[in-house]
Amino acid sequence: MNKSKIIGAGHYLPERVVTNDDLSKMMNTNHEWIVERTGIERRRWFVPGKDSVTSMSLEASKRAVLHAGIETADIDFIIFATITPDYFIPGNGVLLQRELGLQGIGALDIRNACSGFVYAISIADQYIRSGMYRTILVVGAEIQSSALDKSDQGRSSAVIFADGAGAVIVQANQESDSGILSTHLHADGDFAEELFVKDPGSSREVRISQEMIDAGGFNLYMNGNAVFKHAVVRFYEVILEALKANEMDVSDLDLLIPHQANLRISQYIQQKFGLPDSKVYNNITEYGNTTAATIPIAISEAWAAGRMKEGDIVCLAAFGSGFAWGSALIKW
Ligand code: UT7
């Protein structure tokens, strides 16, 4: 049977570094509070006129292709996870496809926010296992900084979310037993409005009005406490589910790559599983929370840093808006 394997990864981060001190000039916050509550020291924001979700994902994809040692033309499907597309219609997958010169192949957009990349990996895995596709480009890319309320009112979200792009190449592997072992997806729509962008919406007489703009409904709203409380429970459950499904326990795990939501969430999970620092990859200190892009950026960085090697058991896990959460267990 076909198994799907991640054979290359790449990422792109905008060059504009925004420190906590920079934020404290825009809103009533400070470096100490942000570091203590989130672990974030700096993040990247896109450069208007230079970066777009498409351009960042293009760069990340080119780097992933190079790392995988394939040709762009080998890609036979694109899965693009973002909740901050360049256009709302059409999705970002086709824009990336055009830039890659891959006109004609399928391009699918995923809108599962922070869990988008894990959902995308799961879909890629199913397509490859079924034999439908052989080489899939899976991307997570976001520009969140243009949808943040940078006043005091929005400070709890504005200090967390940021911009960036990551991409991986997933390919059919019949030669060894390494590859994606299983994926586990969940959601609970009861909590849809705990982390959401209300406007513009289609079920209004007019999709966007001055009134909506004045009310700030197009900014990201987050009930941080509710998200935090659910995240710590769901992360734990879904990692355990992945291990159990493969008759493994936490001692089999070589590396956990959690979605970079908040360093405190990652540390809580690490402690609960009793994992040493060497078995958990975090980069939120440098980049903040880039939603669907955090995991592919982390994969790309961790791989380049030699944090995973052939045969390692790696777990990806995510939780976010929806609420939606999921995990993937991979033999590297
Ligand atoms: O990617 C997945 C989705 N997102 C997440 O997983 C994020 C989950 N949630 C969180 O990370 C945390 O809830 C936050 C970092 C958003 C907030 O941290 P918290 O420890 O839950 O703080 P809080 O909301 O309970 O606020 C504590 C205090 C409040 O002041 P009072 O009422 O105690 O006087 C806030 O007004 O901190 C205040 N506060 C701030 N102060 C300085 C909130 N944001 C800020 C800020 N700077 N940026």
Token pair 């009861």 is at which residue?
190
The single-letter code of the amino acid at 263 is: L
Query: From the CB of 38, is ligand 1 less than 6 Å away?
Result: yes
Structure tokens at 273: 């599983």
The whole-number pLDDT of residue 295 equals 98
Q: What is the pLDDT of residue 105?
A: 98
Residues in the chain: 332
7-63 per-position pLDDT tens digit: 999 999 999 999 999 999 999 999 999 999 999 999 999 999 999 999 999 999 999
225 lines ligand 1 (CB under 6 A): yes
Q: How far, in Å, is the centroid of ligand 1 from the Cα of 252?
A: 34
How does pLDDT run across 119-141, given as a tens digit for each residue?
999 999 999 999 999 999 999 99
Residue nearest to atom 35 of ligand 1 (CA): 156
Q: Please indicate whether residue 83, judged by its CB atom, sits closer than 6 Å to ligand 1.
A: no
Domain boundaries 179-331, corresponding CATH code: 3.40.47.10
CA 166 to mean position of chain CA atoms: 8
- Is 155 a pocket residue for ligand 1 (Cβ < 6 Å)? yes
Cα(219) to ligand 1 centroid in Å equals 17
pLDDT by residue (tens digit) across 262-279?
A: 999 999 999 999 999 999
Q: List, edge to edge, every strand of the sheet that includes 324-331.
A: 179-187, 324-331, 313-320, 255-258
Its pTM surpasses 0.85: yes
Q: Beta strand pairing status for 135-142 and 77-81?
A: parallel
User: What pLDDT was estimated at residue 207?
Assistant: 87
> Does ligand 1 come within 6 angstroms of the Cβ of 122?
no
The CATH number of 3-173, from 3.40.50.700, 3.30.450.20, 3.40.605.10, 3.40.47.10, is: 3.40.47.10
d(CA 28, CA 164): 25
Mutate to test the pocket of ligand 1, among 18, 34, 37 (most ligand atoms within 8 A of CB): 37
Give the domain ranges of the chain: 3-173, 179-331
What mean pLDDT comes out for the span 224-246?
Answer: 97
User: What is the per-residue pLDDT across 189-220, written as a single tens digit (0 to 9) for each?
Assistant: 999 999 999 998 889 888 888 988 888 888 88
CATH topology identical between 3-173 and 179-331: yes
